Structure 1
Amino acid sequence: MKCPQCVYVNPEGVKFCLNCGNKNLDPNSPTQDSNSLFYEFAHYVDMVPRFERSVEPKFRNIFSRVFKNHSILEAERLFIVGTALTTPKIDEVKETWPKPWLFARIFIFALIAYFGLFLGVSVFKNINFLPGLIIVGSFAVPITALTFFWEMNAPQNVAIYRIVYVVFIGGILSMLVALVFFNILKHNINPITIGIVEEFAKIGTVIFFVRNLKYKFVLNGLLLGAAVGAGFAAFETAGYALRALLSGSYRGLYSTLLWRSFLAPGGHIAWAALTGAAFCGVQKDNKFDINMVIKLKFLRIFFIVVLMHALWDSPIPAIFPFGQIMLMVASWILVFRMIRIGLKEIAEKKGRLTI
């Protein structure tokens, strides 16, 4: 259906233009209020006609929209969800696989900014660019991965300002909790205790945020867990990058940022996302109870994550070729499995509404 105002070709059935927002796309349709317009948009929030959607977790389907052209309005519309007035009702939520694309744009923007800062330091020898280089280099990939999780959050009930809050407050809070336990266990620091302490600190922080019954979906736990993990990973990378710089090695600084950024999505971000999703899968629509953390459904995922974290920090990945990369792949296999579980949960809840 072509918009008479901007000539944008919209999917059949929409009542307003997805490019310019023109509400008179269909002259025969009644005027809608702003809230119902949002629900209309919720059906097309990823701007994909229904026949392009797929419930199968095939990479060619999930990432099919990354290299397509998107208008600024499409990006802006993604940021309006999650508030009290713009959260879709459960019957408006799609239980099929979303097709994220904004995360790739975020990565490109961050890469351009990093390259500019890199030129300022390496070519123009201006040390004023160093703080920006470390910050952008540390946050670029974690924020990119987090944007992917945000786009995959089908319920669309978490506002972007909340995500920013969790990244900063959740990230630093989880690091401080970990430091407390590291001080207690300072004579027993090894890969296993590191895995237990850091994953316990992150899931404790995630539980603090998801204990509110507003965030009751598995996909909510996946997103908020990824937010805590992204903050943790970015702050940790910034610390290691600063250490490398203070050692007097620019090469060490660049390699630290590059290698840790490459591994970031399969480490703290994926692990915290998995445990967060597992906890929400246990809590569901119930009020928080401390006994939820000893449920087998949660403990199974938590111990798998701790095991992967321990293997990650052990000498094994250094001895075994591509060990950490294999752990990354394993982590994301579990992530996509958890996304599938989250989408099935939505389908089941929608099914109960029709009974």
Structure 2
Amino acid sequence: MICSRCRATVVVTARVCPVCGQALEGRPTTPLVIDYAPSADAPRGALHEATTVIVRRAPSEPNAPAQPLSHDELAAVAADIGRALVVPQWRRWWWKMLLIGMALYLAIDRVWLATGNLFLLPQLFVIGTFLVPIVYTAYLYEDGTLYDVPLTHIALIFFFGGVLGSLAASLLESRLITSTGAGFFGQLSLSNALIVGLSEELAKLMVVLPFLGWVRRRFPTLMHGIVLGAAAGMGFAAFESMGYAFYALINQNAAAMHDTIRLRALLAPLGHGTWTAIVAGAIWRERLTHGHPLTTNAMVAFLISAGLHMLWDYVPAITLRGIPLLHLLIGAIGLLILRFFLLAARGHDGPAYRERSLWRALRLYFAALWLELQHLTREPAPPKRRG
């Protein structure tokens, strides 16, 4: 898309030109007056180089003063400008980062095996366990989902979700788990799996809830809650995977360490990131509809995530070519629940999205999803013969 005022090239999803502030044709938006002060070492021209940006509502009459925007209008403008700036810069970079990270991981692994240099092990742990979470975050930036969230905020919630979440979960589990016996399937016992699920989901919420209080006005939408919760969950998954990889190396061998890193990297988007995104999405949803985040619906979402986590730790590892099938099934259920919040964030309409009770909304959502699947798999009736 080309801006009619300054002829700058702008992504098609933008509503406002990031260079001159012109409202783009075909995009209904609030008439704006955008003024900004350039930085000391950059000439006036590009909006993203400005040190101060003032956005006001355009006056209805020539001599009338410009009115300030509401919080919702300002958030929408920041989102549109941010999308126009960020999307071209990050386009198609997530898969490049993935390929480069995989190449570096393989190179460090080969050098370590050839030289036996133990100083390379930390690099192997960091790249192997953090690659997928970082690529996931980069994909969100490229897709425009995190276009108006500063990278420092993402880094903070990612880091604190991993470090503080792991500390809180360790303290809770050490006090609540009293037996170390294996369960019926050889994994954790049902009670210990329940304790782990509740403790770790609660530990990640200890990071998400203070962040909600900090940014509740700046990032108010449901999509913000989903992606910020996912960032906290992916941070927890990265640090936890590093611990599992180190444990496998110390107690088994290098091959077990590599298997642990590869498996947990494959399953990372299906686990902690999804579970925390579900709870955070429900919390943001309640804040939007009820004005306060901690309601019965938020508790339902927390119990759903903790239940999925419990099953993840309890079910047997039935594998096909090294891939745990039951864990993939549990991950798919979590993704389908997360899809409900994503569709709601994108403004989908229907009985499920208008229902205020989360439990009934999910029942309506899965019923509609089942009908869609039946419609897709139903064989078309053969054409009737004439005559």
Q: Scaled by the length of structure 1, what TM-score is found?
A: 0.68
The question of whether the paired residues in 1 share the 8 Å contact of 2:197 and 2:310 is answered with yes
TM-aligned CA distance change 1:118 to 1:35, over 3 Å: farther
* Residue 241 in structure 1 maps to residue 245 in structure 2: yes
* Residue 295 in structure 1 maps to residue 296 in structure 2: yes
The question of whether the paired residues in 1 share the 8 Å contact of 2:177 and 2:192 is answered with no
Measure how far apart 1:261 and its partner are.
Answer: 0.9
TM-aligned CA distance change 1:150 to 1:342, over 3 Å: farther
> 2: distance between equivalents of 1:93 and 1:169?
25
Measure how far apart 1:92 and its partner are.
Answer: 7.0
Measure how far apart 1:330 and its partner are.
Answer: 1.9
> 1: distance between equivalents of 2:102 and 2:54?
31
The question of whether the paired residues in 1 share the 8 Å contact of 2:169 and 2:200 is answered with yes
Residue number in structure 2 paired with 1:282: 286
Of 141, 157, 163, which residue of structure 1 is paired with 2:132?
141
The Cα offsets for residues 140-159 of structure 1, whole Å up to 9 and x where unpaired, read as 11222233344456473211
> 2: distance between equivalents of 1:84 and 1:247?
55
* Residue 305 in structure 1 maps to residue 291 in structure 2: no
The Cα offsets for residues 228-271 of structure 1, whole Å up to 9 and x where unpaired, read as 11111111111111111122501111111011111111011111
Q: Which amino acid aligns with 2:213?
A: R
TM-aligned CA distance change 1:91 to 1:85, over 3 Å: closer
Structure 2: runs of 5+ lacking an equivalent: 12-16, 28-45, 56-73, 180-190, 349-387
* Residue 216 in structure 1 maps to residue 216 in structure 2: no
SS in 1 for 2:346: helix
Aligned residues between the structures? 279
SS in 2 for 1:158: coil
Measure how far apart 1:313 and its partner are.
Answer: 0.3
Of 117, 124, 130, which residue of structure 1 is paired with 2:108?
117
Structure 1: runs of 5+ lacking an equivalent: 1-10, 20-31, 44-76, 346-355
Residue number in structure 2 paired with 1:258: 262
Of 10, 21, 33, which residue of structure 2 is paired with 1:36?
21
- Within 5 Å, which residues of 2 pair with 1:1-355? 11-13=1-3, 15-17=7-9, 34=19, 36=21, 89-90=75-76, 93=79, 101-152=92-143, 154=145, 156-187=147-178, 190-212=192-214, 213=216, 214-247=218-251, 249-284=253-288, 289=292, 292-296=293-297, 298-318=298-318, 322-344=325-347
SS in 1 for 2:149: coil
Greater Cα radius of gyration, structure 1 or 2: 2
The Cα offsets for residues 119-141 of structure 1, whole Å up to 9 and x where unpaired, read as 22123433322110011001011
Relative to its length, the structure with more strand (as a share) is 2
The Cα offsets for residues 311-335 of structure 1, whole Å up to 9 and x where unpaired, read as 1000345499610011122222223
> 2: distance between equivalents of 1:132 and 1:268?
23
- Please provide the CA RMSD for this pair: 3.6
> 2: distance between equivalents of 1:310 and 1:300?
15
The question of whether the paired residues in 1 share the 8 Å contact of 2:3 and 2:10 is answered with no
The Cα offsets for residues 167-213 of structure 1, whole Å up to 9 and x where unpaired, read as 11222111112122113213266111111111111122111112232
Q: Scaled by the length of structure 2, what TM-score is found?
A: 0.63
> 1: distance between equivalents of 2:224 and 2:335?
17
Measure how far apart 1:301 and its partner are.
Answer: 2.0
The question of whether the paired residues in 2 share the 8 Å contact of 1:149 and 1:226 is answered with no
> 2: distance between equivalents of 1:147 and 1:274?
20
Higher relative contact order (CA 8 A, sep 6+): 1
TM-aligned CA distance change 1:86 to 1:168, over 3 Å: farther
TM-aligned CA distance change 1:33 to 1:143, over 3 Å: closer
The question of whether the paired residues in 2 share the 8 Å contact of 1:225 and 1:275 is answered with yes
Measure how far apart 1:294 and its partner are.
Answer: 2.9
The question of whether the paired residues in 2 share the 8 Å contact of 1:177 and 1:201 is answered with yes
The question of whether the paired residues in 2 share the 8 Å contact of 1:153 and 1:220 is answered with no
SS in 2 for 1:36: coil
The question of whether the paired residues in 1 share the 8 Å contact of 2:274 and 2:335 is answered with yes
